[in-house]
Chains A and B, each alone.
Chain A
Amino acid sequence: MEIVVLVKQVPDTESLIQIAGDGVSIKTEDLKWVMNPYDEFAVEEALRIREAQGGTVTILSMGPAKTVETIRTALAMGADKGVHINDPAAEGSDPLATAKILAAALKDIPFDLIIAGMRAVDGDNYQVAPAVAEFLGIPQITQVIKEEISGDTIRCHQVVEGGTAVIEAKLPVLFTAQRGLNEPRYASLPGIMKAKKKPLDVKTLADLGVDAGTAGTANRKVKIKALNPPPARKAITMIQGDDPVAQASELVKKLHEEAKIL
């Protein structure tokens, strides 16, 4: 089984995000960068499938030089090799352009299965993985919490509102990992040592035959005009006292008469 995992490096979810002086980007200096949490589930699932069936797990990621740390983390978890698309011209690409670049890279990587996180927690677009599937002409199954492969068929349990749907498709397939799929392993010390020797190819857009004029911030279809802090809330009203019944009564009164939601 040839498995490719799409991985993105993102700011840690405990990070404080601050808007940069240009008003359309964020300050990146003091951020801690990690593997997108949903991609950890994707890597873990790929490793489990390979452990059961044999094959290769390839990590594919696009981003600046520091992205290599995240690819190495996946290699340290046990993935076999990495492909890093590192090209200044690709920086700031929107999800459609990103998906086109990843799809171009996937022309040179054999795959039966592509796994990605169900969303990246920076852009929150939920978009790159389905677009990659579209550009490759393969089916997508999003928000998967369980999968079983038998022969050339994959059966996925997909989260839907109020329950799950069980979806089946013939490989090749792209599915996206939702929380609940598995518990990702930590990289072991021997894993980290081994990762340093694993193959990691670096590609530019030219290597992939992608026109730089379709990528990067300047060529976004979805243009960020402004970033703003979330709307500020009014100052909190503390319900005083230490008698729970009196506090509860006061709270319900406020919710009823002042906030008018009960």
Chain B
Amino acid sequence: MAQGIFVITEQREGTFRKVSFEALSEGRRLADAKNVPLVAVLCGSGLEALAGDLEKYGPDLILVADDPALAEYTTDAFTNVIAEAVKAQDPELIIIGASITGKDLSARLAARLDAGLAMDCVGVRLDGGDFVFTRPMYGGKVVADVTIDGTPKIAALRPNVMTITEAPRSAAVEKLAVQVGDVKTTVVERKLEATDKVELTEADIIVSGGRGTAGDFSVLEDLANTLGGAVGASRTAVDEGWRPHSDQVGQTGKVVSPNLYVACGISGAIQHLAGMSTSKVIVAINKDPEAPIFSKADYGIVGDLFKVVPAVTEEVKKLK
């Protein structure tokens, strides 16, 4: 009978994605509740030192697939290796962080294993021993509770939602015999922007702008820099060419869940609200007291963002 929980971790050049620790913490909690082992899976090349980073979050076993052919993520190689490990160990549940790579991998892996996949979960709970997965649909306009028939079940967790909990224990480390198999894609290059830029889906704080900025994001950038956050944008701001596509928050852009979302000059179209409504605290700054964004915010200021936002930046500096 399928038993135990797998967490597929994600690292690039020796640095784990934060969502991997979120997934491990969630895995530990569920493994304790079911009294089953938690297995972390680590894939890449030159990983000797990395298994130790995972022990902090409490896996009982770390499976390491260490091979030069796994240095770069490719869908084929990672699916082949992980599918084999899953078949050998027969876990009941596989947890993956729903980063861009995690979405690509979990979808392919689910098809390979003929396994049900709950994508972009914001919650997992046990109901009489059965896993119930909570996931937004329709861009977060509704939230579904789903169960998965058969095993393995796969849950991809939305980044930035689950709490990271340290639960250190010494884990057994086992090397997997790696057979990367047929790999039909080649990674030609990776172009990464300056590494000090915070990725929107992982940012703790997002300062976002819309039509009200009239294209001038300088005061928003100052506040984001002061807070150590990232800058986001509404569809209008992107369609106007004021910000790149990668900054767009909404149902047709990125779905974000920061601790603090500051919406500046954003009216709050339904499709924008769908992309940020799971933020923990939402602040709206808008000239129009009737703007729909105020119906979704925790704190609101009716005012000129070009006056209010710089003043907020100054107050934050004072606090620090």
Instruction: Answer whether residue B283 sits at the interface, using C-beta atoms and an 8 A cutoff.
Output: yes
- A14 beta carbon closer than 8 Å to chain B: yes
CB of A236 within 8 A of CB of B136, answer no
A140 touches B104 (CB 8 A): yes
A contact residues around B186 at 8 Å (CB): 167-169
Q: With a CB–CB cut-off of 8 A, which chain B residues contact A168?
A: 185-186, 188
Question: Does A63 belong to the interface (CB within 8 Å)?
Answer: no
Contact among A178, A249, A251 with B283 in the assembled complex (CB-CB below 8 Å): A251
Quick one: given A96-B116, A125-B119, A166-B187, are A261 and B111 in contact (CB under 8 Å)? Answer: no
CB of B271 within 8 Å of the partner chain: yes
Contact A222 B308 (CB under 8 A): no
In the assembled complex, which residues on chain B have CB atoms less than 8 Å from the CB atom of A13? Answer: 139, 250-252, 270-271, 274
- Chain B residues whose C-beta falls within 8 Å of the C-beta of A238 in the assembled complex: 294, 299-302
Q: Within the complex, which residue of A162, A169, A251 is in contact with B193, where a contact is CB–CB below 8 Å? A: A162
**Chain B residues near A99 (CB, 8 Å)?**
111
8 Å CB contact of A259 from B76, B117, B298: B298
Most B C-beta atoms less than 10 A away, residue of A129, A179, A180, A234: A179
Residues of A within 8 A of B197 (CB): 162
Q: Are A160 and B101 in contact (CB under 8 A)?
A: yes
How far is A16 from B54 in the complex, measured between Cα atoms in Å?
43
Contact at B185–A141, with CB atoms within 8 Å?
yes
Scan residues 203-247 of chain B and give those whose CB is less than 8 A from a CB of chain A.
Answer: 227, 244-246
Interface residues of B in 134-189 (CB under 8 A from A): 135-150, 184-189
Per-position contact with A for B57-82: 1 when CB-CB < 8 Å, else 0?
Answer: 00000000000000000011000000
A193 within 8 A of B: no
Would you call A133 an interface residue if the criterion is a C-beta within 8 Å of the partner chain's C-beta atoms?
Answer: yes
Give residues in B with beta carbon < 8 Å to A. 17, 75-76, 99-101, 103-104, 107-108, 110-112, 114-120, 132, 135-150, 184-193, 195, 197, 199, 201-202, 227, 244-246, 248, 250-253, 259-260, 269-271, 274, 277-278, 280-284, 294-304, 307-308, 311-312, 314-316, 318-319
Q: Pick from B142, B199, B246, B301: contact of A239, CB below 8 A.
A: B301
Kindly state whether residue A130 has any CB partner on chain B within 8 Å. Answer: yes
Cα separation A93 to B13 with both chains bound (whole Å): 39
Is the CB of A135 closer than 8 A to any CB of chain B?
yes
Binding site for B on A (CB under 8 A): 11, 13-17, 19, 26, 37-38, 94-96, 99, 121-127, 129-131, 133-135, 138-143, 145, 155, 159-170, 178-180, 220-231, 233-234, 236-239, 242, 244-245, 247-249, 251-252, 254-256, 259, 261-262
B114 CB → nearest A CB, Å: 7
What is the CA–CA distance of A159 and B193 in the complex, to the nearest angstrom? 12
Residue pair B145, A228 in contact (C-beta under 8 Å): yes
Majority-rule SS of A interface residues? mixed
| Chain A hits for B315, CB < 8 A | 248-249, 251-252
Contacts of A255 in B (CB 8 A): 260, 281, 283, 299
Given contacts A11-B138, A96-B116, A131-B110, contact A244 B307 (CB under 8 A): yes
Complex interface: chain B residues within 8 A of A16 (CB): 141, 270
> Is A180 in contact with B246, judged by CB distance below 8 angstroms?
yes
Closest chain B CB from A262 CB (angstroms): 6
By a CB distance below 8 angstroms, the chain B residues around A244 are: 303-304, 307-308, 311
Closest to A168 in B: B186
A224 to B246, CA, bound (A): 31
Once the chains bind, are B312 and A139 in contact (CB under 8 Å)? no
